Amino acid sequence: MALSATPAPGATSLGRSLHFRASLPRNRWNSFFSLLAALFAVIAVIPLVLVLAYVLIKGGSLISAQLLTDLPPPPGLDGGGIGNAILGTLVVTLIASLVAIPVGVGGGIYLAEYSRSGWFAQFVRFGTNVLAGVPSIICGVFIYGLVVSTRIFFGQSYSAMAGGIALSVLMLPTVIKTTDEALKLVPQELRWGAIGIGASRFVTITRITLPAAFTPIATGVVLGIARAAGETAPLIFTALFSPFWPEGVFNPIATMSVLIFNFAIMPYEAQNALAWAASFVLVMMILGANLFARWVGRFTRA
């Protein structure tokens, strides 16, 4: 005997009440605020798109092998390139990375693994947050007074080493905060399991927690490098500028950001064009670093 399913009383009216009706005031307000949020998102992205498009139009057409390998021309003359500035930027950024990454990762490990809630750890976290908001020119003036004016490096004043140290100061907050937060996300059970089988704290950190937190730490390091590579003010006070190829880390050195600053204010069209070309190359380098950081995160998660 077949049983016919009879709908429960009120089921039909309940189905109608669950149906989406755009005419309801709450749905209209929901659509309005959704469109408003989308509009604000578009407005937030517009400056980035305009900057990239303008730099591409002004400097992208000048990209050539000569531009990337030659020295800048004397003021007022055509031709030349920005090869020394590209190489100098890589040198200064490498020095900054060699200083900031070990110190920053080590500081983050101490905060997360050895002293999470002590007064010294709280002081370091507060100082890191303050340092992250300090204008970059202040870091340049600080290193100028500490390194350049004292001629502490073999009697040399302006140098690539001073510029790298200035950039490392800017990188430190990002690396420390990223390492600290990344290690906090590692489950405590992993540490307990390692200690339970007799591993020391050092072995637990190097074999368990650091590999588990590699993705966010690497992302923070790459973002810190990208920020340092685009700074100008600290390098004006420390690395200065040189129209020649790098002559060592204890001598003045050309960098992309300082070259853009110097050439953009010159009253010569050739130098202005090189400034736009250097801007395009620098933007592409920073954009590539950010994309690489995202790729590292996705690759390690996969």
- Domain borders along the chain are 65-301
103 phi and psi angles, rounded to 5 deg: -65, -45
pLDDT at 58: 87
Residue 155 CB coordination number (10 Å): 7
* CATH, domain 65-301, list 3.40.50.150, 1.10.3720.10, 3.40.980.10, 2.30.110.10: 1.10.3720.10
User: What does the pLDDT read at residue 1?
Assistant: 47
- Measured CA to CA, the distance from residue 155 to residue 177 in angstroms comes to 35
* pLDDT lower than 70: segments of the chain: 1-18, 20, 297, 299-302
CB-side exposure of 40: number of CA atoms within 13 Å? 5
Kindly list the distances between the CA atom of residue 244 and the CA atoms of 71, 154, 279, in Å, as whole numbers in the listed order.
Answer: 7, 21, 19
Partnered with residue 156 across adjacent β-strands are 153
Query: Tokens in use for 180?
Result: 């600290």
What per-residue confidence (pLDDT) applies to 156?
87
What is the torsional sign of CA 95, 68, 230, 241?
positive
DSSP-based three-state secondary structure for 131: helix
pLDDT, position 141 = 94
Please give the DSSP secondary-structure letter assigned to residue 158.
Answer: S
Count of C-beta atoms within a 10 Å radius of residue 135: 10
Tokens for 164?
């790298």
What is the number of other CB atoms lying within 10 angstroms of the CB of residue 96?
26
Supply φ then ψ for residue 6, to 5 degrees.
Answer: -100, 130
Q: How many CB atoms lie within 10 A of CB 208?
A: 17
* pLDDT of 300: 57
